[in-house]
Amino acid sequence: MTRLALVTRVVKPLLYLAATLPCAWIVFALATGRVEGDQVKYIQHVTGTTVLVTLFLTLSVTPLRRATGWNEIIRTRRLIGLTAFWYALLHFVSYVVFDQSLSLADIADDVAKHPWVLVGFASFLLLVPLAVTSTNGWIRRLGGKRWQRLHMLIYPAAVGGVLHYFWLVKKDVRTPLWFAGVLALVFAARLWAARARGRRPARAQGRRRESSPLIRAGEDVA
Amino acid sequence: MLINRPPDIPTSEITEESLYTTRREFLLAAGFGAAAVGGLLPFSRTALPWGRGPDDDKLTPFEDIAGYNNFYEFGTGKDDPARNAGTLRTRPWKVEIAGEVATPAAYDLDDLLRGLTPEEHVYRHRCVEAWSMVVPWLGIPLGRLIDRLEPTSRAKYVEFTTLFDPAQMPGQQRGILDWPYVEALRMDEARHPLTLLVTGLYGKPLPNQNGAPLRLVVPWKYGFKGGKSIVRIRLLERQPATTWNIAAPDEYGFYANVNPEVDHPRWSQARERRIGEFFKRKTLPFNGYAPQVASLYAGLDLRKNF
């Protein structure tokens, strides 16, 4: 099996499956009475954690690609990024429906008064254009450079997501600090990857020319 | 020493003090009840002595009450206390009575409470984190114990200190809070008939994770005011420093009365999630106990004294 086939026929289906697991777990845990205490908070905790983890994974694809030379894994990035978005949407909807009972006035008030809600809200909004422009059509329409610039919104969204978590914790900030630490590592890896790319352009670029324009668009914006 | 004479009237024949002191509300409730039977007025249970709320105040299941706890001495996760509190030894248990009392001394818990019969009080329990439960506590109105202790005229505050023993309470191995946990009440709050020294839950001894063997419950205040696993009760002339107030003075005040009008700096207190429900409900002033306790704070600016 070629590496491309491995990524598209094995890794991607596995990632699809993995993407449904947190959601399936929530349904299972609630249905079987495994969740003691605040069930909505549980939904929000699992979805929120999934968003942060998948955002970090999305940001890690390029450094991983540079480190291994496995250019094919770029084909998994959209799937991981969209997983982050879908869980952010679930997280957001649970807040709007269960916490605020769909009251726009209450939501506006909450967002205006409480910085951690504002930061969470803003981070979610930043992900919306990224999800919308994740299609091949939008990559083509925007062109690699502009698409890439737009998708740099993932950086403030990820930082905002971690800050949102940090601010909601009452006292024991160890877990949010772990997330902040991992995000710093991911950022460091990306810096390293950007420099590594500059140093050895010939082979990588030669390979990229062989692939289809769409894949190239995907790769160019890595 | 505590003087314990056998009671010459069977306890079953004594009107409970909380019933006695709130007899007017009781009669009012009875009146409303009679009126409801006559189809004249809707029956309101909010007027009953220990504040049984509206009809949707169903008891929270035992599994939730004993499985979802804030008790940082056993870890900061909500399920940590249920998992880790097995290391706590609740007998023998000494409670030191200190400060402005006739005879400061350390008592065995069973001696301290001898002759004080625990009674069931169903209270709403509102956490500062905006969730709530309805709990059938088993406890003794704190005022009865205070009477026994013969406070001096200088006693203005009552302070409650939780056990400090990192071997039994693994959460204390980290300085997440300024151990030991200390909470306190003003004397009139402490003597209020709603204020309970709790020893049980659902008719059974208190589970360790809920603050065994002795904890405080003040139903019109946020849950953190209810010190758990109490080893010292001290009567004081001056207001003592309290743990959460030390940790974050702008977020947790000394009074900590449930107040939907005054938000926590980081989140709203206007609504709460009753455990077991998905949608939030409105939070009531003084957690719905305003008729019984609001007069304690007449003239006090509740925004400043949050």
Every domain of chain B and the residues it spans: 29-58, 59-297
Q: Give CA–CA dist B9/B213, Å, rounded.
A: 28
Q: What is the mean pLDDT of chain B?
A: 87
pLDDT of B251 strictly over 90: yes
Containing A187, the helix (H) or strand (E) segment is helix A174-199
What's the pLDDT score for residue A82?
A: 97
> What contacts 24+ positions apart, CB below 8 Å, involve B105-113?
B105/B1, B107/B2, B109/B213, B109/B214, B111/B2, B111/B4, B112/B2, B112/B145, B113/B140, B113/B145, B113/B197, B113/B199
What's the pLDDT score for residue A206?
A: 43
Q: How far from each other are the two terminal CA atoms of chain A, in whole angstroms? A: 25
What's the pLDDT score for residue B47?
A: 37
Q: What is the mean pLDDT of residues A97-101?
A: 92
Report chain A residues whose CB lies below 8 A from the CB of B129: 170
- Distance (Å) from the C-alpha of residue A192 to the closest C-alpha of chain B? 36
In chain B, residues 225-264 whose CB comes closer than 8 Å to chain A:
247-248, 263
Weakest mean pLDDT among A72-86, B35-49, B58-72, B169-183: B35-49
What's the pLDDT score for residue B48?
A: 37
What's the pLDDT score for residue B25?
A: 54
Q: What is the mean pLDDT of residues A135-161?
A: 95
Q: Give CA–CA dist A140/A166, Å, rounded.
A: 38
Containing B233, the helix (H) or strand (E) segment is strand B230-236
- Distance (Å) from the C-alpha of residue B130 to the closest C-alpha of chain A? 10
Minimum-distance CB partner of B79 among A36, A40, A41: A36
- Distance (Å) from the C-alpha of residue A182 to the closest C-alpha of chain B? 21
Angle of helix A39-68 relative to helix A154-168, nearest 10 degrees, comes to: 140
Select from 3.90.420.10, 3.40.50.300, 3.30.70.2740, 3.50.30.60 the CATH code of B59-297.
3.90.420.10
Decide if B273 and A40 are in contact by the 8 Å CB cutoff: yes
Position A1 confidence tier, pLDDT thresholds 50, 70, 90:
confident
Residue B184 structure tokens: 């306190």
Is residue B64 within 8 angstroms of chain A, CB to CB? yes
